[in-house]
A and B are shown apart, each in its own frame.
Chain A
Amino acid sequence: MSFTRRLTFSFVAILVLSLSSVLIQVWGNDTRRRNVWLLQHVIRTQSELNDFSQRMYSTHRKILVVDALAESGTQNGITVAERKELLSGIDALVALEEELNDDLQEYLEQGRYEPLDAALLLQHWRQFLESDFEPHGEDLQREYEALSSRISANEWYLLTRSDEINVGLREVVSMTNKVALAVFLLALITTFVLGYYMTRYTRRAIRQLQKGTSEWGEGNFDYSIGDMGRDEFGQLANSFNDMASSLRQAMGSAREASRRADAANQAKSGFLANMSHELRTPMNAIIGYSEMLLEEIDEEEQLSVSDLQPDLEKIQLAGKHLLTLINDVLDISKIESGRMAVFWEDVALEAVLRDVEITVAPLMEKNRNILHCDFDLRNERIRTDVTRLRQILLNLLSNAAKFTRSGDVFLSVSELTEDGHDYLLAEVRDTGIGMSEEQLGRVFDAFVQADLSTTKQYGGSGLGLTISRKFAELLGGTITASSELGRGSRFVLRLPVGVGASDSIGGLEKTASGDILVIDDDLAALDLSHRALSREGYHVRTASSGAEGLVMARQHRPDLVVLDVMMPGLDGWQVLHSLRGDPVLGSVPVLMLSMLNEHDLGLLLGASGYLVKPVESAELTAVVRDLLPATAVGNMLLIEEGDALAQVIELLPGAEHWKIYHTGDLARVAELLTELPWQLIVLGPHNDSGQIGRLVAHLRTEHWRTVPMLMAQTDAEIQSLRGQLGAYLNRGE
């Protein structure tokens, strides 16, 4: 039973008791009043009857006197006036008798009264008085006596009746008192009993809830309050249980997170310990051998260079191994800290695969393995990060070659579409030594395979698979492994491709503009620079010699020249000298690239920037961005009525690099939006807020979503917008 229903029940019970008490009081009052009224009337009737009886008696006495006088022959024993008075007294008695008869009939029960029947006697009296006093003495005497006895009977009846009413009255009063007392006691008992049960029930419920909360307070979130029915307490308990279960989940996930953090921490410590071990091993060889060589040089007079060569080669080998290790560790740390950039570009997949095939050929030959390639390509070009893809494939293939002797290695590459996305599937399978379940479980962990004696042939670090998997994950893909001991292993790389092909990826970055001339005799480096700079949005021309570069520079007047120092024929310094001497090209910034760190010399000779090869793409583009004379960074659409915001923007540093379209006409805005590509939209004060709202909603749709938008409607907002705008405007510099 619900708590409310219990309460309602108690309330209703007490209400019913109170109501019945009131009803009984009302009934008692009513009965008493009726009885009192009856008693009054009975008493009045008694007195009327008494009065009637008196008057009858007095009239009777007078008639008897008159009769006696008449008998004695006395004429005119009664005056006319006296007779008249007697007659009118008789008339009154007639009326009185009628009234009395009615009253008796009304107030006495059937059979408990006798009709007075005085009418005959009264008529006889009237006849006696009117008929000149014929003597009737005896008859009248008899009739009067009969009437008198009837009156007495009725008097008795009335007396009895009033006694009865009195008794009834007393009974009613006593009964109402008893009932009132009973109701009072019953209400008292009900209240106590209900109160006791309610209290006990509430106390139990609260204890149960309290037990739950204290259990949870002590951290025992598995505790659950037992079923408490469906009343308010039950609902409260359910809410508490739900809360506890949420808490349990939250605690669980917190514990899980902390456990994971601990595990990650442990893995990190393990990695660090392992790394320390791995770095120390080649270091031990390097230091050991070099110390030994120094000792030998010190102690032995007759020492030829060829004696030293084998140990020097060992030092070199260990050093190279150390470098590989450090690079791999740096790669891992870069990926893990999210600093590893992904460069999506369109690549001819088949060419990449052929290149990989050629690269691994020597590794295959080393263990007399045969590489079988099977490419099933649908698209000529796909969009991916080709450097990472190559690295993954080379890692997988060199592993396969390493652990297979006189066997077969299979590289199968295919493309598939799933759920509307394109995937690249590359499978590397070998017939080598394979792995046990246990080895398979750890194969992607760092340093599992690391061992100088087994990896020195390949320059591997034991981090290849770890890095490959991380690269694959970086590109949104997976690598899975399966293997059978003694039968071979199978690695499957699955990469989403073409996912990054949408134009929006470029966004603001593509806004860089300017003509750049790259002069380098190393075609690979030339290609690298070309790709990196084109990707940024620059227009790039290339020249593969100093002489060609100078011709092109004079012809096209580039905004910036990227110049390699070491070139056959006309070298970089000479080209720089010629450029600086040219009246037109003298002020064009020149960025020098060199194997040697001659930074200061470069700047002294007139270079605007100097980078030491090998140059990272990001580094190159960053320096080029710094050197290029500021050009329009992008188009800014400024929508406002009036020019309050325009004035503010004009004065901001960096604003001069933006092409600002300023209008308050929303129809013109709609045209501009479709006509030009936008890099920044600024919404200033405008009266038609409804239209502006719709415009904002429109700009937030898919197509415009990526364009940064700033809003300022009031003066205060315009002022606070300065900082934000400043940051945007300076992005181009």
Chain B
Amino acid sequence: MPTILLVEDNEMNRDMLSRRLIRKGYEVLLAVDGQQGIDMCEQAKPDLMLLDMSLPVKDGWQVAREMKASAVLQTIPIIALTAHAMADDRQRALLAGCDDYDTKPVDLPRLLGKIEHLLGAAQ
């Protein structure tokens, strides 16, 4: 099964989303800040990254920019996840290099749809 790296600093949301993804059969890796997220991408090469944007140490936008600038990591699709739901938040995320965007609270079927779409495109 594909491996998804979930970068999320909020413990409850991390716990909740990771469990739901595991239940759907994905392998889930966890990172709690932006830098850790990049490090884990380099080590574990996940198939997809779910990226919270408001992160400590290195925020999501910075992570996305660095990922897309790296020859090794730029192929990993990124879905931005944020509770910032204003109109230009989506634009900001896509501009930073994210491949897709979803808002919190997470609508799981919709998020799964986006994950599968991106994974399908990557294969």
Chain A contacts to B: CB under 8 angstroms: 273, 276-278, 280-281, 283-289, 291-292, 295, 314, 317-318, 451-453, 456
Contact = CB atoms under 8 A, between A and B. Distances in A.
Contacts, number: 69
A288 B83 contact: no
Given A280-B105, A295-B23, A285 B84 contact: no
Nearest to B20: A292
A276 B11 contact: no
Contacts of B105: 280, 283-284, 286-288
Contacts of B23: 292, 295
Contacts of A456: 12
B35 interface: no
Contacts of A286: 105
Given A292-B23, A295-B23, A284 B13 contact: yes
Contacts of A273: 84, 86
Interface of B: 9-13, 15-17, 19-20, 23, 54, 82-86, 103-106, 108
15 contacts: A277-B54, A280-B85, A281-B13, A284-B83, A285-B10, A288-B17, A288-B106, A289-B12, A291-B20, A291-B108, A295-B20, A314-B16, A451-B10, A452-B12, A453-B10
B86 A285 contact: no
Contact of B84 (A276, A283, A288, A291): A276
A281 B15 CA distance: 13
A297 to B, nearest CB: 13
A613 to B, nearest CB: 31
Contact of B83 (A277, A289, A291, A314): A277
Contacts of A317: 12
A358 B76 CA distance: 54
A318 B105 CA distance: 12
Given A284-B105, A453-B10, A453-B12, 17 more contacts: A273-B84, A276-B84, A280-B85, A281-B10, A284-B13, A284-B104, A285-B12, A288-B13, A288-B20, A288-B105, A288-B106, A292-B23, A314-B12, A314-B15, A317-B12, A452-B11, A456-B12
A452 B103 CA distance: 17
A289 B103 CA distance: 16
A289 B104 CA distance: 13
Contacts of B106: 284, 287-288
A292 B11 contact: no
Contacts of A284: 13, 16, 83, 104-106
Contacts of A285: 10, 12-13, 16
A287 B106 CA distance: 8
A317 B15 CA distance: 14
Q: Is the interface of A mostly helix, strand, loop or mixed?
A: helix
A276 B10 contact: no
Contacts of A276: 83-86
A317 B16 CA distance: 14
B104 A283 contact: yes
Given A273-B84, A295-B23, A453-B9, A280 B16 contact: no
A318 B11 CA distance: 12
Contacts of A453: 9-12
Nearest to B12: A285
Nearest to A288: B16
B104 to A, nearest CB: 4
A281 B16 contact: no
6 shortest interchain CB distances as A-B pairs: A280-B83, A284-B104, A284-B105, A288-B16, A287-B105, A277-B83
Contacts of A287: 105-106
A281 B104 contact: yes
B85 to A, nearest CB: 6
A273 B15 CA distance: 25
A307 B63 CA distance: 36
Contacts of B13: 281, 284-285, 288, 452
Contact of A318 (B12, B82, B86, B108): B12
A101 B106 CA distance: 148
Nearest to B81: A284
A289 B13 CA distance: 9
A147 to B, nearest CB: 139
B56 to A, nearest CB: 9
Contacts of B86: 273, 276
A452 B10 contact: yes
Contacts of A292: 16, 19-20, 23
Nearest to A456: B12
A283 B103 CA distance: 11
A280 B86 CA distance: 12
Contacts of B12: 285, 289, 314, 317-318, 452-453, 456
B26 to A, nearest CB: 14
Contacts of A277: 54, 82-85
A259 to B, nearest CB: 22
Contacts of B103: 280
A456 B13 CA distance: 13
Given A288-B106, A318-B12, A281 B20 contact: no
Contacts of B17: 288
A113 B54 CA distance: 135
A314 B13 CA distance: 10
A439 to B, nearest CB: 14
Contacts of B11: 452-453
Contacts of B15: 314
A270 B82 CA distance: 16
B30 to A, nearest CB: 14
B83 A281 contact: yes
Nearest to B86: A273
Contacts of B83: 276-278, 280-281, 284
B80 to A, nearest CB: 13
Nearest to A311: B16
A377 to B, nearest CB: 43
Nearest to A277: B83
Contacts of B9: 451, 453
B44 to A, nearest CB: 24
B82 to A, nearest CB: 8
Given A285-B16, A292-B20, A280 B10 contact: no
A576 to B, nearest CB: 45
Contacts of B20: 288, 291-292, 295
Contacts of A318: 12
B112 to A, nearest CB: 12
Contacts of A291: 20, 108
Contact of B16 (A278, A289, A451): A289
Contacts of B10: 281, 285, 451-453
Nearest to A299: B23
Nearest to B9: A453
A653 B13 CA distance: 62
Nearest to A287: B105
* Of B10, B23, B86, B108, most A-chain CB atoms within 10 Å: B10
